[in-house]
């Protein structure tokens, strides 16, 4: 029982548990909070995979940004007083069956794959390599991402503006 | 191309040109009389050319390939010129010319457009008939055979807004088509056995006895069926009396002198082939004689003057066929020529009477001799010729027919033909007495016909007499070795018929009603045309219409039903499938998920 | 031994759970949360592959995915807010204008 193993199982448990909670809890606010937990757990998974930079990015953007946005959206679309957020889900069985089937399909492929070897040695500074890659081979993609962000910004602003 | 070839081609080419011009240049056609003038001019040229060809006695043949194939064309078109075709050329062009001139006066009341249509059809008819006569092979003959039938339909139904005329035209077409069916089957069978349609080749082989075709009797019988239809032999004779619904000049041309003789012409032309199958010849003779007798009995009880002449035509066609069947084809053909002349004369004269009196019913006429002497005289001449009184042309040809049948030792047909001769004289003089003599029943002012009508009448009458005299002088060729008692015998029959008609209708010595009662069963049957019309009508209504009703039901309920079911199915399927589009995004995600699952399954199967 | 397969199975599980959420949630925002989980699972997959094959491309891909996801959430929520303004509801069952 290595540290790695224990750590993995712990993080996995948290991740799975909070994911289930996200989709099952009737209260939408709680769901968002559980999502935050799941996102942090994902970051932990990244750490387990020796990617501290990605862990940081995950926490910053996802757990920080996305959760904030969603909270604001919930506030703007639900009446806080009176009609409490009724979050009944429907057709649980159908959804469960389909989701389970999809999982079974993916797992089937995974089981048929040849078992991979141990993880190789990680040489060098990954973060620096990422940085160099972003302005090197992936420069164009990076720039396009910037364009996408601008477009998304403008789009979101347009949609959310008040009608006057 | 030398003259001897150009002239025979010119004869049909002129009316064809007239037809084309009239058909595709409506302004000329609509002038009515202008169209008539064009048509008459064309046929006059044709007539002159025909006379020259006949006189020159040219014999020959020229064909062009029509349907090419390896080893020579399958079918050819062209002209075949020999004594019988030449004689037919003259007859057809002469009678057509006279009829077209006559029509100018007879149809003077028609609208110009209708008159133009009439002359278009007339030109087409003459062209078709000439093409038939000049045909060097069965196929061309059949093509023009059908064209002639078409023209008959068009001309019988000329007054198409009269229901009776329209019905008569369709009936003529149907009945002759039955015969034509046999004709074309016979021709094709003959071709498939011998490989050729051409007369010259077939006759050569027949003479040389190299025409060994299995079932030749059946084939020739089938070809004879075409003649049965076209020449109104029993049992396909029922269309001819009804065809009288057409204008009288049409009846004179088509149903006396030309179209109906096509059948006799066919049998005459194909005589070398028929001679190989004596059993079919016997059938032809018996059927011909029987038809002659049957039609004569029906003529005796008719009151419509045109119908009398129509039955008379059927009867005389029977004579011609009987002669051909007995092997005496020259006799039959001679009768065809003379009959063409005096029957056309009779019809045109009857037309003059109808034109003057306004009715066809003989019992409403009477005493017209004073009012229209010219017409009466020419009608009388025609009657004498038809009854077989010398020295008119009819006597010689009828005697030749009787002689030929007697010499072939066909006693049954001979007796039938003899009785028919008696009846012919009887009913024709009955018609004469009822129409021109006796008390005048006709109202109004019957007057003599205009010269445009009288001219052709007198010309035909003169020709009848002249032809008779010429036949009398060239006595040898007409009688080969006829028994000596035959000429007096036939004259005696004619005389007896005359006396009978005189007694019954002119002098009133014998009461026609008592005779009818005495012969009651015969009278009853004859009046109802021996039930044949009813039989055909019943077959038509029962079988054909019934069958078409069944087919119609199948079409409506099965075929349309299947289509309707399919359309309904499609619509309903669309309607139900519509509900898949719920508009909710999550349901669509379900769809995507299902698709992914399917892809998983497929990928798994593919990996195996 | 925690190998590549473990991470992949973990990611597959999270993906399925996210899919379940998308299929069953009635609230539009709830559906978006499910989508978030699915995208997360994808990220785990990418990083795991990158780590075990020594390839940098997976990490770059993950970065881009995260960035794009953020944009998508922003725009999606903007749409949800716009819908709410007009229809006064974000119930997915009631948003069926595309009904056939």
A85 vs A73, which has greater pLDDT?
Answer: A73
**% pLDDT > 70, chain B:** 97
Of C37, C66, C73, which is closest to A22 when you measure between CB atoms?
Answer: C37
**Whether pLDDT at B488 is above 50:** yes
How far is B485 from B404, CA to CA, in rounded Å? Answer: 14
Say yes or no for a CB contact (<8 Å) between A112 and B603: no
Bridge partners, B67 (sequence order): B75
Cβ count near B558 (within 10 Å):
10
**Whether pLDDT at A82 is above 50:** no
Greatest mean pLDDT among A52-61, B274-283, B487-496: A52-61
Say yes or no for a CB contact (<8 Å) between A102 and B596: yes
**Whether pLDDT at A124 is above 80:** no
**Whether pLDDT at B313 is above 80:** yes
Give the number of beta-carbon pairs within 8 Å between B and C.
Answer: 32
The candidate with the shortest Cα–Cα distance to B455, out of B5, B40, B1, B9, is B40
Alpha helix (H) residue ranges in B302-392: 305-325, 329-357, 368-371, 373-387
Mean pLDDT value of segment B506-519: 73
From C12's Cα to the closest Cα of chain A, the distance in A is: 6
Q: Please report residues of C whose CB lies closer than 8 A to that of B600.
A: none
| Torsion sign across C-alpha atoms B65, B68, B73, B74 | negative
**Whether pLDDT at A22 is above 50:** yes
B596 shares contact with chain A (CB less than 8 Å): yes
Q: Give the H or E element holding residue B78.
A: strand B75-81
From C17's Cα to the closest Cα of chain A, the distance in A is: 7
- Give residue B499's pLDDT band: very low, low, confident or very high (50, 70, 90): confident
Note the pLDDT of residue B446.
72
DSSP letter, residue C98:
T
Tens-place pLDDT, residues C48-75 = 999 988 888 999 999 999 999 999 998 8
DSSP letter, residue B32:
S
Task: Using CA coordinates, name the residue in chain C closest to A75.
Answer: C81
Phi then psi dihedrals of residue B605, to 5 deg: -65, -35
Q: Please report residues of C whose CB lies closer than 8 A to that of A15.
A: 10, 14
**Whether pLDDT at B391 is above 80:** no
Note the pLDDT of residue B131.
92
Q: B178: exposed, middle or buried (C-beta count within 10 Å: 0-12, 13-18, 19+)?
A: middle
Distances from the Cα of B154 to the Cαs of A104, B169, B173, C54, in angstroms?
84, 7, 10, 98
The candidate with the shortest Cα–Cα distance to B76, out of B184, B162, B201, is B201
Q: What average pLDDT does chain B have?
A: 86
């959760």: which residue's tokens? A67
Mean pLDDT value of segment B74-94: 87
Check: CB of residue A39 under 8 Å from CB of residue A63. yes
Say yes or no for a CB contact (<8 Å) between C31 and B586: yes
- Give residue A101's pLDDT band: very low, low, confident or very high (50, 70, 90): very high
B485 shares contact with chain A (CB less than 8 Å): no
**Whether pLDDT at B586 is above 50:** yes
Mean pLDDT value of segment A56-82: 82
Mean pLDDT value of segment B456-476: 80
Task: Give this prediction's pTM.
Answer: 0.68
- Give residue B448's pLDDT band: very low, low, confident or very high (50, 70, 90): confident
The candidate with the shortest Cα–Cα distance to A100, out of B604, B585, C3, C23, is C23
**Whether pLDDT at B583 is above 80:** yes
The candidate with the shortest Cα–Cα distance to B501, out of B434, B410, B405, B598, is B434
Note the pLDDT of residue A80.
44
A 77-136 residues with CB < 8 A to B: 94, 98-99, 101-102, 105-106, 108-109, 112
- Give residue B478's pLDDT band: very low, low, confident or very high (50, 70, 90): very low
Cβ count near B303 (within 10 Å):
13
Q: Give the H or E element holding residue B295.
A: helix B278-299
The candidate with the shortest Cα–Cα distance to B409, out of B327, B480, B470, is B327
How far is B478 from B396, CA to CA, in rounded Å? Answer: 7
Say yes or no for a CB contact (<8 Å) between B590 and A102: no
- Give residue B475's pLDDT band: very low, low, confident or very high (50, 70, 90): low
**Whether pLDDT at A81 is above 50:** no
Distances from the Cα of A114 to the Cαs of B53, B606, C41, in angstroms?
106, 18, 22
DSSP letter, residue B531:
G
ipTM (interface pTM): 0.91
**% pLDDT > 90, chain B:** 28
Say yes or no for a CB contact (<8 Å) between A133 and C60: yes
Helix crossing, C57-87 with A139-160: angle to 10°?
10
Note the pLDDT of residue A158.
84
């Amino acid at each position: 029982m290595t540290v790695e193993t224990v750590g993995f199982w712990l993080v996995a448990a948290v991740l799975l548990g909070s994911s289930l909670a996200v989709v099952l809890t009737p209260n939408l606010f709680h769901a968002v909070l559980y999502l935050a937990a799941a996102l942090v757990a994902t970051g932990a998974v990244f750490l387990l995979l020796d990617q501290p930079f990605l862990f940081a990015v995950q926490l910053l953007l996802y757990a920080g940004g996305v959760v904030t946005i969603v909270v604001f959206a919930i506030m703007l679309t639900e009446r806080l007083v009176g009609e409490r957020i009724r979050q009944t889900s429907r057709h649980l069985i159908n959804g469960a069956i389909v989701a389970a089937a999809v999982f079974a399909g993916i797992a089937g492929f995974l089981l048929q794959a040849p078992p991979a070897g141990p993880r190789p040695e990680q040489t060098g500074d990954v973060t620096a390599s990422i940085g160099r890659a972003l302005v090197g081979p992936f420069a164009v993609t990076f720039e396009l991402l910037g364009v996408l962000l601008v477009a998304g910004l403008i789009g979101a602003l347009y949609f959310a503006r008040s009608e006057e | 191309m030398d003259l001897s070839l150009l002239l025979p081609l010119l004869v049909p080419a002129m009316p064809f040109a007239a037809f084309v011009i009239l058909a595709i240049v409506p302004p000329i056609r609509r002038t009515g009389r202008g169209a008539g003038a064009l048509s008459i001019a064309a046929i006059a040229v044709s007539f002159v050319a025909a006379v020259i060809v006949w006189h020159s006695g040219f014999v020959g043949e020229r064909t062009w390939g029509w349907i090419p194939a390896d080893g020579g064309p399958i079918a050819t078109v062209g002209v075949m010129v020999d004594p019988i075709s030449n004689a037919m050329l003259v007859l057809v062009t002469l009678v057509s010319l006279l009829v077209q001139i006559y029509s100018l006066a007879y149809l003077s009341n028609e609208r110009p457009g209708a008159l133009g249509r009439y002359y278009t059809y007339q030109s087409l008819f003459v062209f078709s008939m000439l093409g038939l006569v000049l045909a060097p092979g069965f196929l061309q003959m059949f093509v023009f055979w059908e064209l002639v039938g078409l023209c008959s339909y068009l001309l019988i139904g000329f007054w198409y807004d009269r229901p009776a005329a329209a019905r008569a035209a369709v009936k003529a077409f149907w009945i002759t088509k039955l015969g034509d069916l046999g004709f074309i089957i016979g021709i094709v069978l003959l071709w498939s056995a011998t490989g050729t349609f051409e007369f010259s080749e077939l006759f050569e082989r027949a003479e040389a006895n190299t025409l060994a075709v299995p079932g030749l009797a059946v084939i020739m019988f089938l070809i004879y069926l075409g003649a049965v239809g076209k020449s109104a032999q029993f049992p396909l004779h029922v269309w001819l009396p009804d065809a009288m619904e057409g204008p009288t000049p049409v009846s004179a041309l088509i149903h006396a002198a030309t179209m109906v003789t096509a059948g006799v012409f066919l049998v005459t032309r194909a005589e070398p082939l028929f001679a190989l199958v004596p059993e079919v010849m016997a059938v032809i003779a018996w059927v011909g004689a029987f038809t002659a007798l049957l039609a004569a009995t029906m003529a005796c009880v008719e009151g419509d003057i045109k119908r009398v002449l129509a039955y008379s035509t059927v009867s005389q066609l029977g004579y011609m066929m009987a002669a051909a069947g007995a092997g005496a084809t020259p006799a039959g053909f001679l009768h065809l020529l003379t009959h063409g002349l005096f029957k056309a004369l009779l019809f045109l004269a009857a037309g003059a009477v109808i034109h003057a009196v306004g009715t066809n019913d003989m019992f409403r006429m009477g005493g017209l001799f004073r009012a229209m002497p010219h017409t009466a005289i020419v009608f009388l001449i025609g009657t004498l010729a038809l009854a077989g009184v010398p020295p008119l042309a009819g006597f010689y040809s009828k005697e030749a027919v009787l002689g030929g049948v007697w010499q072939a030792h066909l006693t049954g047909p001979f007796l039938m033909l003899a009785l028919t001769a008696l009846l012919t004289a009887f009913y024709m003089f009955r018609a004469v007495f009822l129409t021109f003599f006796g008390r005048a029943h006709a109202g109004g002012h019957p007057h003599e016909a205009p010269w445009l009508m009288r001219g052709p009448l007198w010309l035909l009458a003169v020709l009848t007499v002249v032809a008779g005299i010429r036949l009398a002088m060239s006595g040898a060729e007409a009688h080969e070795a006829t028994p000596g008692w035959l000429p007096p015998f036939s004259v005696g029959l004619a005389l007896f018929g005359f006396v009978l008609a005189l007694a019954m209708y002119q002098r009133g010595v014998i009461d026609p009603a008592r005779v009818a009662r005495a012969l009651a069963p015969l009278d009853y049957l004859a009046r109802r045309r021996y039930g044949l019309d009813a039989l055909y009508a019943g077959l038509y209504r029962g079988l054909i219409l019934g069958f078409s009703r069944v087919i119609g039901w199948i079409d409506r309920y099965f075929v349309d039903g299947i289509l309707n079911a399919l359309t309904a199915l499609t619509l309903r399927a669309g309607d139900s499938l519509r509900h898949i589009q719920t508009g909710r995004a999550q349901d669509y995600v379900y769809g995507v998920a299902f698709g992914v699952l399917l892809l998983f399954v497929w990928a798994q199967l593919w990996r195996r | 031994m925690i190998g590549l397969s473990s991470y992949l199975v973990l990611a597959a599980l999270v993906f399925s759970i996210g899919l379940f959420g998308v299929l069953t949630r009635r609230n539009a925002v709830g559906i978006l949360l499910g989508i978030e989980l699915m995208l997360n699972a994808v990220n785990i997959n990418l990083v795991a592959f990158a780590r075990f094959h020594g390839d940098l491309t997976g990490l770059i891909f993950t970065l881009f995915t995260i960035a794009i996801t953020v944009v998508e959430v922003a725009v999606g929520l903007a749409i949800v807010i716009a819908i709410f303004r007009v229809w006064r509801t974000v119930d997915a069952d009631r948003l069926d204008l595309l009904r056939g």
